[in-house]
């Protein structure tokens, strides 16, 4: 995963996962030291004496075909990343659970992130897919690939589609580690951030 320094206004303890008191909670999302694959109706099971509320977020992954939406979703969920690219034929959802500790009162919560990934061609062919993805969505990750200039240039078109929507917007640049094939300069990324006031994260080819 990309490393992001927490802002001064962060409401959670950023390094809590390294503390001893977090192990009981993180053990519920692991199986044999690997992340569990949770289905839509599954959730971590805590002991009866430990009451933990779950906060639900729906996150839509937006971007041109081949930028790494499916790979990023797999990486966030701790799943195996596909070796070969394939076009997502419809809507794929991935559930990610992550325990957090609040700064203010030390309360522990489970974040439940439901990642929605829809293929670019499917969105063009079927008008009902985008409204389904937008329904009750909390955040949008706009993806582009550092090795594909057209995917970067298309970001403005993607963001405009969400004008006025009360959602959190974040841009993720994938394949940042493929320096020899980089097609997007850092100055272009800085200019984009200044123009759109949207933060940009950088991840490697495998969503790291």
Would the pLDDT of 4 be above 50? no
Q: Which of 51, 29, 61 is nearest to 138 (CA)?
A: 61
**Which residues, in sequence order, are CB contacts of 148 under 8 Å at separation 6+?**
64, 66, 67, 183
Token pair for 172:
């993720």
Would the pLDDT of 2 be above 70? no
Would the pLDDT of 51 be above 80? yes
**Domains of the chain and CATH, by start:** 16-37+51-202 (3.40.50.300)
- What beta strand segments (E) does 88-162 contain? 91-101, 108-118, 139-145
Predicted local confidence at residue 194, as pLDDT: 94
Would the pLDDT of 1 be above 70? no
Predicted local confidence at residue 44, as pLDDT: 94
Q: How confident is the model over 103-119, as pLDDT tens digits?
A: 999 999 999 999 999 87
Q: What is the mean pLDDT of residues 190-204?
A: 93
**Among 72-76, 196-200, 202-206, which stretch is predicted with the lowest mean pLDDT?**
202-206
Q: How confident is the model over 66-108, as pLDDT tens digits?
A: 899 989 999 999 888 777 666 777 788 999 999 999 999 999 9
What backbone torsions phi and psi does residue 170 show, to the nearest 5 degrees? Answer: -145, 135
Would the pLDDT of 124 be above 90? no
Predicted local confidence at residue 205, as pLDDT: 66
Q: What is the mean pLDDT of residues 189-198?
A: 94
Cα→Cα distances 104→9, 10, 13, 16, 22, Å: 11, 10, 9, 14, 17
Would the pLDDT of 6 be above 50? no
Token pair for 10:
């962060």
């Amino acid at each position: 995963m990309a490393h992001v320094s927490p802002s001064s206004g962060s409401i959670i303890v950023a390094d809590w996962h390294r503390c001893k008191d977090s192990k009981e909670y993180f053990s519920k999302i692991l199986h044999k030291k690997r992340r569990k694959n949770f289905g839509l109706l599954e959730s971590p099971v805590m002991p009866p004496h430990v009451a933990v509320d779950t906060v639900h977020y729906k996150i839509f992954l937006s971007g041109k075909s081949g930028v790494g939406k499916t790979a990023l979703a797999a990486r966030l969920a701790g799943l195996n990343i596909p070796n070969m690219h394939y076009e997502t034929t419809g809507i794929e959802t991935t559930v990610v659970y992550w325990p957090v500790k609040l700064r203010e009162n030390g309360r522990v919560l489970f974040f439940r992130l439901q990642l929605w990934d829809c293929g670019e061609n499917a969105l063009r062919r079927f008008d009902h897919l985008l409204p389904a993805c937008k329904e009750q969505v909390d955040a949008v990750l706009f993806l582009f690939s550092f090795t594909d200039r057209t995917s970067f240039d298309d970001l403005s078109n993607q963001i405009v589609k969400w004008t006025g929507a009360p959602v959190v917007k974040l841009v993720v640049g994938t394949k940042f580690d493929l320096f020899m094939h980089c097609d997007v300069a850092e100055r272009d990324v800085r200019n984009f951030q200044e123009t759109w006031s949207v933060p940009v994260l950088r991840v490697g080819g495998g969503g790291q």
